[in-house]
């Protein structure tokens, strides 16, 4: 039976490589659509938890995996020799940056090489990881064709960027429109038909390069606009003007303006990283991306700005950072999730500790830290209570979790540095609250 027929009858086995924030919801979407699915991940602990029905991504809900894990049409494995079992393989692997802000495609390259070992005729391979234009064609295709099979004839290759936003309630994997660009017309058509059975809307574009570029534009757009309000925050603070009120006021215009809000820096896997994939590729073709790089400079300066404001806030209370007990509220990069990837809270903690601060954190979604690429804090979330607030010399609000009792924080913390505008609506005295 051809791949086309397998898709038509929903008998194609769909393999998801990388079972993280993108891959796990995607696997469930295809399983929910009626396909047999198989998940691949290098982390055996994830595979074990999946088979036990345990969800390790808490924002998805405790029962997200349980039903699927007991199904006859589901499997998960750390054995990449089984990649040939899948009729369609969707790659959801990390694409981080190197230490010089250059693209790190090692996960894509290693995974592509593993696929090439078991590649067979009529398989569809789709990359979902964010990357620079040309990756699918120039990096993946030669490795896969080294198997002796011909792209577009023996196997099919496409790009379909992930658009996950962890914690968002009004959209999910099945309802976020999906872009697809193929290496050749048939690949694009097959990938579109496959995704169309699991996702409500699929848009086919003319090439993989268009889809790759569109994903970068989405995140660069956000990065640039966040940089704009972050820069305005610093300028307006010097004029004693509330940036959050300014943004809300501007947002009353029904056209020509979209509200973006400042913060302590960028977090998540996309916005702090993706723009640099284009700046690197631009240099390769003899161009510079001054606008994008400037936005990156502004956003990356925000953790240092928060530290500076914390220093000034403590100074106004006759204290130095050195020896002060400081509580960071929120380790996750955005509200109400447990996602700590690229969170600016880590840099803020590290900088305050370097100045001699005694720093703890509270985050109800992140009970303990684990070793990351750039940080290994080895900390546990401390209790947030009236007594603990009184214990600390300064509280820094880095993440605006809904669960936080803002009035309690305002009433009992000695000094507060608010980088999220979280305490704008609290009542009572405010002379101990400082914006950052």
pLDDT tens-place string over residues 40-72: 999 999 999 988 888 888 777 777 888 888 889
Residue 100 has a pLDDT of 84
Res. 113 pLDDT band, cuts 50 70 90? very high
Which residue has 């693209």 as its token pair?
A: 103
Q: What percent of the chain has pLDDT over 70?
A: 100
Identify the CA nearest to 58 among candidates 367, 272, 433: 367
CA-based end-to-end distance of the chain: 61
Closest C-alpha to 198, from 171, 175, 168: 175
Which residues form the catalytic set? 270
Neighbours of 272 (CB within 10 A): 22
Cα 168 off chain centre by: 12
**CB contact at 8 A, 27 and 37:** yes
Burial pattern 216-227, b for ≥16 Cβ within 10 A else e, equals bebbbebbbebb
| Helical packing angle, 208-238 and 274-284, nearest 10° | 120
| Element (DSSP H or E) covering residue 204 | strand 202-205
Distance CA 434, CA 422 (A): 11
* 344-354 helix and 302-315 helix, angle to the nearest 10 degrees: 50
Q: What is the mean pLDDT of residues 80-100?
A: 94
Beta strands in 96-149 (DSSP E): 124-127
Two tokens, residue 432? 């101990």
Ordered domains of the chain (ranges, CATH): 3-206 (3.40.50.720), 242-435 (3.40.50.720)
- In this structure, the number of other CB atoms found within 10 A of the CB of residue 323 comes to 11
Q: Which of 11-15, 249-253, 324-328, 374-378 has the lowest mean pLDDT?
A: 374-378
pLDDT, tens digit, 9 for 90 and up, residues 244-258? 999 999 999 999 999
Pair 17, 90: CB distance under 8 Å: yes
Predicted pLDDT at 60: 79
Q: Is the pLDDT of residue 375 over 90?
A: no
Region 296-303: mean pLDDT is 95
pLDDT at 164: 86
Give the pTM.
0.92
Give the pLDDT mean for 96-107: 90
Q: Is 134 left (phi over 0), alpha (psi -120 to 50) or beta?
A: left
| Cα–Cα dist 148/230, whole Å | 52
Q: pLDDT for 142-197, tens place per residue? A: 999 999 999 999 999 999 999 988 878 888 899 999 999 999 999 999 999 999 99
């Amino acid at each position: 039976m051809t791949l086309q027929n397998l898709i038509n009858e929903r008998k194609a086995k769909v393999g998801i490589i990388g079972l993280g924030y993108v891959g796990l919801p995607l696997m469930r979407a295809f399983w929910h659509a009626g396909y047999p699915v198989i998940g691949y991940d290098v982390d055996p602990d994830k595979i074990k938890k999946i088979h036990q029905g345990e969800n390790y991504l808490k924002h998805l809900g405790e029962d997200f995996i349980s039903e699927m894990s007991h199904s006859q049409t589901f499997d998960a494995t750390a054995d990449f020799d089984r990649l040939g079992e899948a009729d369609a393989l969707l790659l959801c692997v990390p694409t981080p940056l190197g230490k010089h802000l250059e693209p790190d495609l090692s996960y894509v390259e290693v995974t592509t090489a593993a696929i090439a070992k078991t590649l067979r005729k009529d398989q569809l391979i789709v990359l979902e990881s964010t990357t620079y234009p040309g990756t699918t064609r120039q990096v993946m295709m030669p490795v896969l064709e080294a198997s002796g099979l011909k792209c577009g004839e023996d196997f099919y290759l496409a790009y379909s960027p992930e658009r996950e936003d962890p914690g968002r309630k009004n959209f999910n994997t099945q309802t976020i429109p999906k872009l697809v660009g193929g290496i050749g017309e048939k690949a694009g058509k097959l990938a579109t038909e496959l995704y169309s059975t699991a996702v409500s809307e699929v848009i086919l574009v003319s090439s993989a390069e268009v889809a790759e570029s569109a994903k970068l534009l989405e995140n660069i757009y956000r990065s640039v606009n966040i940089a704009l309000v972050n820069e305005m925050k610093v300028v307006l603070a010097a004029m004693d003007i509330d940036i959050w009120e300014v943004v809300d006021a501007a947002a009353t215009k029904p056209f020509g303006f979209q509200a973006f809000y400042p913060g302590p820096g960028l977090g998540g896997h996309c916005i702090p990283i993706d723009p640099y994939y284009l700046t690197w590729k631009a240099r390769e073709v003899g161009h510079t991306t001054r606008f994008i790089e400037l936005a990156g400079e502004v956003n990356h300066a925000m953790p240092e700005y928060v530290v500076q404001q914390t220093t000034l806030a403590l100074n106004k209370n006759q204290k130095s950072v050195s020896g002060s007990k400081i509580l960071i509220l929120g380790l996750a990069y955005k509200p109400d999730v447990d996602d700590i990837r690229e969170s600016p809270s880590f840099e803020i903690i590290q900088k305050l500790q370097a100045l001699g601060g005694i720093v703890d954190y509270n985050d109800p979604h992140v009970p303990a830290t684990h070793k990351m690429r750039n940080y290994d804090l080895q900390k546990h979330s401390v209790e947030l209570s009236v007594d603990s607030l009184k214990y600390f010399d300064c509280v820094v609000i880095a993440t605006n979790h809904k669960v936080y009792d803002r009035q309690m924080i305002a009433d009992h913390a000695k000094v507060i540095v608010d980088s999220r505008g979280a305490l704008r609506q609290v009542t009572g005295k405010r002379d101990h609250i400082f914006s950052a």
